[in-house]
Amino acid sequence: MDRTEEAAPPCLRVGLIGYGLAGSVFHAPLISATEGLTLDTVVTADPERRAQVHAELGSDMRTLATTEELFARAGELDLVVVASPNRTHVALARRALEAGLPVVVDKPLAGTAAEAQQLASLAAERGLMLSAFHNRRWDNDFLTVRSLLADGALGDRVRRFESRYERWRPELKGGWRESGDPAEVGGLLYDLGSHLVDQALTLFGPATSVYAETDARRPGAEADDDAFIALTHADGVRSHLWMSAVAAQLGPRFRVLGSEAAYVKDGLDPQEAALREGARPVSGERWGVEPESAWGTIGDLDARRPVPTRDGDYPAYYAGIAAALREGTQPPVTAHEAVATIRVLEAARTSALESCVITTDLS
């Protein structure tokens, strides 16, 4: 038989824990759209969510009510994805690794750097892949910033990187994300801050100092809903990162100040909205496309021009996971990178509580 006629390798079977926002909007659709992966099982204790699984993924999709049932079938799976509430991330990731299964954990990987490092060490000891779902590395605007930096379009160095995820949600919604219980790992610092810090470290490398401010602004708020982080990177770049639920007018998503030009971009990547509305990536078709009216601009006070925004590419994350499992390559987000993000977030929390700059080892 000609090599071109050889059968494709069997799909890697994925068990997904959790079918809330993360599981239903991000993980299940992206796993299902990835060549070489098949969503085998969804775990959710909520009968309404199990009905949602069958409505969205098909009546034959296997659903389980407990993780014990899932791990009893560990030998039938090739990957576990943890998309349950933050408080469960460490315990479930550890359980999966101990069962001999590679793991993807929705961000944040853990509530503390020590817990994150313990998971990374366990994965290394077992020779298993561990990755965190920092999908915002494939936002269309972030991909555009990376491209501009690679091309030197802003000059020979960046002086300041400004990045924001801001919302206007003046009323509390309730739920674990707004809980003040530290065990829940709620609040915007660890929610949106996970993405902002990961993006800054991806672009400019390790941070050498962290300063942060956090507040609970809304009446009755227990967890931080308005925060700011200032990072100094080892190469001298400064990153200023904002996250807020109380921004009645939104600042630019990115403002990147270079030695010769600046790039300014408003708005949000369209992929989450598309996934929420039921759109799905299809092989061979464009995805994450932004209209020209939403493009950012590059230039200075005398002259500016629009910059076409690159297409967003959330599907790239699970394509990279499939490649890592089959070929033994590094996953698209490594355990070490996920630990570094948690280390910065933990330092930011300490900085905000103690009103100080943290300069301990953050790499």
DSSP state of 180: -
Rounded to an integer, what distance in angstroms lies between the CA atom of residue 325 and that of residue 174?
A: 38
What end-to-end distance do the CA atoms of the chain give, in Å? 51
Whether 123 contacts 98, CB under 8 Å? no
Tell which CATH classification among 3.30.750.200, 3.40.50.300, 3.30.360.10, 1.10.3430.10 matches the domain 137-312+343-354.
Answer: 3.30.360.10
Instruction: Tell me the pTM.
Output: 0.94
For the chain, the average pLDDT equals 95
Residue 348's pLDDT is 97
User: 37-43 and 62-64 as β-strands: parallel, antiparallel, unpaired?
Assistant: parallel
For the chain, which residues make up each domain, given as ranges?
3-135+319-332, 137-312+343-354
Query: Please, which pLDDT band fits residue 5 given cuts at 50, 70 and 90?
Result: low
* pLDDT (0 to 100) of residue 1: 45
Q: What is the pLDDT of residues 144-172, one digit of tens each?
A: 999 999 999 999 999 999 999 999 999 99
Quick one: pLDDT at residue 210? 98
Give residue for tokens 């829940």.
Answer: 184
Q: Residue type at 149?
A: L
pLDDT in tens, 238-256: 999 999 999 999 999 999 9
**pLDDT at site 239:** 98
**Cα 244 to Cα 201: distance, rounded to the nearest angstrom:** 20
> In terms of CATH, what superfamily is 3-135+319-332?
NAD(P)-binding Rossmann-like Domain (3.40.50.720)
Q: Does 351 score more than 60 pLDDT?
A: yes
Strand partners, 164: 242
Q: What is the pLDDT of residues 61-81, one digit of tens each?
A: 999 999 999 999 999 999 999
3-state secondary structure of 289: coil
Structure token digits, residue 244: 């807020």
Given a contact cutoff of 8 angstroms between Cβ atoms, the answer to whether 246 and 218 are in contact is yes
Which 8-state DSSP code applies to residue 178?
G
